[in-house]
Amino acid sequence: MDSLGYLVSGFGVATTMQNLFYCLAGAVVGTLVGILPGLGPIAGIALLIPATFSLNATSAIIMLAGIYYGAMYGGSTTSILINVPGETASVMTCIDGYQMARKGRAGPALAICAIGSFLAGSLAILGLVFLAPPLADAALAFGPPEFFSLMVFGFVVLSNVTGGSLLKSLMMAVLGLIIGTIGLDPVSGNPRFTFGQVSLLGGIEFVAVAIGLFGIAEVLDNAEKPDEVLEQRVLVPRFRELYPTLRDLKESLGASLRGTGLGFGIGLVPGPAPVLATYASYMLEKRIAKHPEQFGQGAIQGVAGPESANNAACQSAFIPLFVLGIPFAPPTAILLGALLIHGVNPGPNMIAEHPDLFWGVVASMYIGNTILLLLNLPFVPLFANILRIPKKILLPLVMLFCLTGMYSVNNFMVDLWIMLGCGALGYLMRKWAYEGAPLLLALVLGPRLEVAFRQSLMISHGGFGIFVERPVSLVFLLATGGFLLLPLFRKVARSLGRRAATVS
């Protein structure tokens, strides 16, 4: 059977009543998570993982994936309506989306977001359908050294592009790897750093770390704000018109298609793909626009491009997750954790071993995108009402949800304490400008990295040469070196430029 044949069978899986329900639930919850400022897809997926324990793996991943791309849709709502991005990938949408809302064109802006996201999501899924199987075949040739080098490459790229200091991000990645060594040694089975605690034998629960670093820390970050900030009433602008005109559609089509291409490509490489994709798309649209001066004043291309790029990147990020078993961004790292909890080990064999799950989830993405389009067009003004809940009531509710969700994972009290500890750590990390994403990614990938490292050394009888003798591994390591030296090159180039300017 070819990819299209498998996709048809995937629709059979995705259109059962049960899976349709979970797809809808994921899309709705994701939209709400995206709308709520601060509570992004990472915390949203982590919080909802316990709710999937009673489901089979396919339904669980359909729902969690729905939350992920639903949050991407929802994130644009607050950007446009109140100039507050629901999650980081919606920052670029604020620029022109909010200006459109101020001119009474919130409806068309939101509709263009929904249509652009639908178009991007659907095209990106096509890419997933046709690219994933051949990539999986190619990845079958990967051995432990290649996987090790690829993971190291992923950490370094993510650390380099998260925006903060490279050194700080690298320290966070190493810290995450160290935390990941707690529990049973994945090779020998010996307990490590458990201090006699049975509950630590399975390792530090990554959901506790994720909820702590992203959920609790966000609540604490808000709780410190003065009363006047917490009591600020959110003014949702009136919707003068709800749907875009034909001219709006025409003007945004090209931007959406370009955004889709950019987003799809960027989603395949390590890093916070949706954020980078939206930035790249906005810059591209502004550069090629006939009237670049309209950007920042409510240009519809400035909304359509980034939103499409954001969703395409989000869908193509599933390719490395499913095909290599290596997530390149924190939300897919959480999804990897969820897959492992449900007994599915993603990697080159996943499509062959779990065809129902893979093709079912892919097909559900089409359905999810359609649901989101239908949901977002007429109901956005309704969803926006969630912003009217006062923060002083919302924050305690989110805290209770974090606590309950965490306890539901294993019913271990120790997980709650770890989550609280990580919450306090996450709060301090924000104060000291340390990124949480590299830590979380390293925690999830740590055991895989260690196994790949030790297996490589076993194969080479203790020689490190194996990492540079194999061409694919060498390419990844060279690229890693390039990324590590990039800031240094930039510095040298800048100082040379300054010197040249002084001389001339």
Binding residues for another protein, rule: CB under 8 A, are: 50-51, 53-54, 167-168, 170-171, 174-175, 177-178, 181, 185, 187-188, 190, 192-193, 216, 219-220, 223-227, 230, 390, 392-393, 395-397, 399-401, 403-404, 407-408, 411, 413, 416-417, 420, 423-424, 427-434, 450, 453-454, 457-458, 461-464
Rg (CA), the chain: 23
CB 363 to another protein: min, Å: 26
Nearer to another protein, 11 or 407 (CB): 407
Tokens of 354: 């779990």
CB 109 to another protein: min, Å: 31
* β-bridge partners, 184: 191
CB 280 to another protein: min, Å: 27
CB 462 to another protein: min, Å: 3
Q: 220 near 427, Cβ under 8 Å?
A: yes
Q: 191 near 22, Cβ under 8 Å?
A: no
Nearer to another protein, 344 or 429 (CB): 429
Calculate helix-pair angle for 301-316, 57-82, nearest 10 degrees: 160
Tokens of 34: 């995206």
Nearer to another protein, 319 or 418 (CB): 418
CB 21 to another protein: min, Å: 13
Nearer to another protein, 5 or 390 (CB): 390
CA angle 98, 247, 376 (to 5 degrees): 50
Q: 207 near 406, Cβ under 8 Å?
A: yes
Nearer to another protein, 167 or 478 (CB): 167
For the chain, first and last CA: distance in Å? 67
Nearer to another protein, 329 or 422 (CB): 422
- Give the H/E segment covering residue 191: strand 191-192
CB 396 to another protein: min, Å: 4
Nearer to another protein, 417 or 489 (CB): 417
CA angle 315, 318, 324 (to 5 degrees): 155
Number of other CB atoms surrounding residue 492 within 10 Å:
11
Nearer to another protein, 1 or 400 (CB): 400
- Give the H/E segment covering residue 340: helix 330-341
Nearer to another protein, 190 or 504 (CB): 190
CB 188 to another protein: min, Å: 5
- Rounded distance between C-alpha atoms, residue 194 and residue 440, angstroms: 20
- Rounded distance between C-alpha atoms, residue 147 and residue 362, angstroms: 25
Torsion-angle region of residue 385: left (phi > 0), alpha (psi -120 to 50) or beta? Answer: alpha
CB 77 to another protein: min, Å: 24
* β-bridge partners, 183: 192
Using DSSP, state whether 250 is helix, strand or coil: helix
Handedness of CA 289, 292, 297, 302 (dihedral sign): positive
CB 413 to another protein: min, Å: 7
CB 155 to another protein: min, Å: 12
Q: State the chain's maximal CA–CA distance in angstroms.
A: 73
Q: 414 near 197, Cβ under 8 Å?
A: yes
Nearer to another protein, 216 or 362 (CB): 216
